[in-house]
Amino acid sequence: MIFDFFKYQPRLPGLNDFPLAAYSTDFSLDRLVLGVDNIRCDVRLSPTFCNTTAKLAALLIERETGIWTRPEKVRLSALAKEQENFRHLYGQIMTDAVNKARAAKEMQVDFLAQIAILSMLHEEIRRQYDLLISYCKNTIRKTDLAHQEDPKLGLKLKDDLAHVLAIREPVQQKVGLELCDYFKEIRETDIREMREAVFGQDLPFLFDLLSNPIVHRDNPFNDYFMIEEYDLCLGRRVDDPDRYEVLLSVLRSIFAFLDMEETAAVHWSLDRRRREISAAELPEDKEARKFQLQKIDQWIRHPGNIDLLLNQDLTKTQLKTLKREQADKQTIGNHRLRLKHQRLLTGYFFQQFSRTGLMERITASYEMQPMYRDYCPPLIPQQVLQYLIAPKSRKLIRSRLKRLKKLYGKTFRLWPLNRKVVQMERMGTRRKKAYLVRFLRAFFRYHRDYCCFNVYRRASERINLVTDKKILTLSKANRTLYEFLLPHEQEMGEKPIINHTIIKADLRGSTDITHQMNARGLNPASYFSLNFFDPITDILAEYDAHKVFIEGDAIILAIFEREDTPSGWYSVARACGMALNMLMIINRYNKKSQAHQLPILELGIGICHRADSPTFLFDGDNRIMISPAINLADRLSGCHKSVRRIIRKNISPFNLFVFQSVTDEEMKQTADDILLRYNINGIELNEAGFRKLSQEIDLKPYYGDIPDLGLEKVRLYTGKFPTKTGRYQRLVLREAEVPSVNPKDLSQLNLTHRKYYEVCTSPNLYKLTQKIFGGKTSTRKKDIAASVAQ
């Protein structure tokens, strides 16, 4: 009646009256480095462990299917041996994962290993099952070709194949859960203490994942699987009120309402109905909606919450125990109050589920369970359920069973189902409420496992289990490969690159030289090789330099700094020393060329430092380096033709001059280097390189005049560094401000705030610098930094 809306009802208890537990599935791999495809994380698992997993999975599958591919004598011994080996290797792999996570100070490395191993396990089980199916098919084919006299053998083999195909999903699930039990055993004993000492308690989600049946199924919505594993039979049609999504929406609305009921002041039915409607409509604010959904879902993912909210039988048992043990009055009073609250909540849940037609389906799903196997196949569980609750479907189901009885060789009696229909009509509320509590507990568990499965699926999709040698090489070279290996598989290879410095040496006028030599019938290729490329190759080892790229008139070199090798952390100093030696080689060969009337060579060198690792790609076995430092070094080594035409004869001891020909506003509008350069036999170092050099060696600054060379107000730095062989070499660098000039004649307009750095090459300057600093003590590096900032 309409007057029921104005009926007074007792206030329902709020959720704060219960110590509800929250189950979080917060999990991420977002702080890890992506692999070579820029989508997934590259992971390499121990090949020995993967092979052991394959052997054990194959043995367990054969045991479960009864189809053996090996002699009976070796089956049990092989299985026991592989089980023990599997446990031992898993412990070692997870130890390596925890140690690598600790070294990286990143817990997600350990998470990555756990998900990667589980993903590999599932792939291997499926692969081994496919191999067993292929074995059965090949055996049948061989038997047919051999024309066996016994036709029963061929039929038996075909029946075996049909059996293997029919039980694939349950066998894969059973084998997967058994292997995961080994994981749980090792993690609870050997690994748990180590992990907790480093990162604290492990995520419950990761541990529960090992006993999650859904993870091991190709079709987690199969009716038989749902009934046997989760005690549920959910609808899948669009109009079914017990679909998973619909049920979740109903539960969210109920929990949102109960959260509001805590602050309710009026207890009339109409007021309660208004609150139910507003609870179904989540807050409009996105953040508030997200927070509320997250909180409610965490409650729904914890099956123990149903016992707290609705399980009156459990509370009565606990209350009897407390009375028997003569517990204090407050504890007994709390349990009595909880029992009262549970009665109210059970009534409210029952009311809501009855209103939406769910109670009838829930009752039918449990009433059919003892007998549904008698009708399935040919029916499916959902059809049996429909027979119990939908009279219109009964005629169709009867005719289907009658039509198929000959095919199945038996008669399907319908009187047990009809009796169940009558029993359901007479069933009391108390039993239905018991079914409701049972259903909700099962649904909460299914919801938890399904959410965990989705988190796992998304995480596994972000993992690339690498076995291809080309991808392994590429990923390892770019420091994007996560490896979890056994102790004997750990490679003692090169340490990862942490910094790198690029040297670009560019020959000036190589096209004109080639033209002149061809006109005279001379060989320009051998000339460049003997006077430039070959001599430079001879000094690479001295400075720990590597060739990156060579073309007809240029060479690009790189010097790397690697982890845990401080003796090699002189990449900029050695690059500067290498560049000086390259110019010395050119000058020496130029004197020889002039004596024989051959063209002379001129160089421009740029040095660029980057405080990170370059990336690599591979063309077959050839490693190709990619780095922004290469492009910048190319700019620094350049010489503008217009500037060279104006500066025809350089009488200065310096060989590098940098000019700004545009306004400061134009400079700010681009990230490109648009400065003009004169670089003939000069060496320019980028600013980041100079800062790194001041950290590598003790640089002594000087600012003032050098009359012997006609220099005024010049700022110099000098210091020594060790080459790879231990020999010490001196460097002199000049710091200068970039002038703003008229590009037509390079006439100076003003000085800008920008600076450039030249590695000086003049022998006279080195001699005078040695005299200047001969009596001075070392200057600390912080003074150099202050000098650079001036």
CATH 3.30.70.1230 boundaries in the chain: 497-789
Look at 61-75, 76-90, 673-687 and tell me which has the smallest mean pLDDT: 61-75
Q: Is the pLDDT of residue 263 over 60?
A: no
pLDDT tens-digit series, residues 313-350: 888 888 888 888 887 888 888 888 888 888 888 888 99
pLDDT of residue 473: 86
User: 495 with 565: CB under 8 angstroms?
Assistant: yes
Look at 6-15, 610-619, 697-706 and tell me which has the smallest mean pLDDT: 6-15
User: 349 with 326: CB under 8 angstroms?
Assistant: no
Give the Cβ contact number of residue 566 at 10 Å: 9
Amino acid letter, residue 86: F
Rounded Cα distance, 453 and 220, in Å: 10
Rounded Cα distance, 42 and 480, in Å: 7
pLDDT of residue 443: 94
To the question of pTM greater than 0.95 for the whole model, the response is no
Look at 26-40, 45-59, 100-114, 519-533 and tell me which has the smallest mean pLDDT: 519-533
pLDDT band at 176 (very low <50, low <70, confident <90, very high): very high
pLDDT of residue 451: 92
pLDDT tens-digit series, residues 550-578: 877 789 999 999 887 888 889 999 999 99
pLDDT of residue 783: 38
Q: Is the pLDDT of residue 416 over 90?
A: no
Q: Is the pLDDT of residue 169 over 50?
A: yes
Q: Is the pLDDT of residue 4 over 60?
A: no
Report the pLDDT averaged over residues 692-716: 89
Find where tokens 């996560």 sit: 482
Q: What is the mean pLDDT of the chain?
A: 84
Q: Which DSSP symbol is given to 658? A: E
* Helix orientation angle between 151-166 and 168-186, rounded to the nearest 10 degrees: 60
Cα torsion through 51, 53, 59, 61, rounded to 10 = -130
Closest by alpha carbon to 752, among 688, 676, 683, 671? 676
Rounded Cα distance, 612 and 499, in Å: 5
Q: Looking at domain 497-789, does it have CATH number 3.30.70.1230?
A: yes
Q: Which DSSP symbol is given to 596? A: T
pLDDT of residue 221: 85
Rounded Cα distance, 457 and 776, in Å: 67
Amino acid letter, residue 428: G
pLDDT of residue 34: 92
Closest by alpha carbon to 477, among 499, 492, 463, 494? 494
Percentage of residues in the chain with pLDDT exceeding 90?
32
Report the pLDDT averaged over residues 41-52: 94
φ/ψ (deg, to 5) at 441: -60, -45
User: 256 with 292: CB under 8 angstroms?
Assistant: yes
Residues 6+ apart with CB under 8 A from 33: 41, 479, 480
pLDDT band at 3 (very low <50, low <70, confident <90, very high): very low
Q: Is the pLDDT of residue 52 over 90?
A: yes
Q: Which DSSP symbol is given to 70? A: S
Q: Is the pLDDT of residue 6 over 70?
A: no
Report the pLDDT averaged over residues 308-315: 87
pLDDT band at 281 (very low <50, low <70, confident <90, very high): low
pLDDT of residue 777: 37
pLDDT band at 708 (very low <50, low <70, confident <90, very high): confident
pLDDT band at 283 (very low <50, low <70, confident <90, very high): low
Closest by alpha carbon to 390, among 432, 344, 426, 357? 357
Question: Residue 651, CB half-sphere, CA atoms under 13 Å: how many?
Answer: 3
Q: Is the pLDDT of residue 590 over 90?
A: no
Q: Is the pLDDT of residue 763 over 60?
A: yes
Find where tokens 């009665």 sit: 343
Exposed / middle / buried, residue 775 (Cβ in 10 Å: 0-12, 13-18, 19+): exposed
Q: Is the pLDDT of residue 790 over 50?
A: no
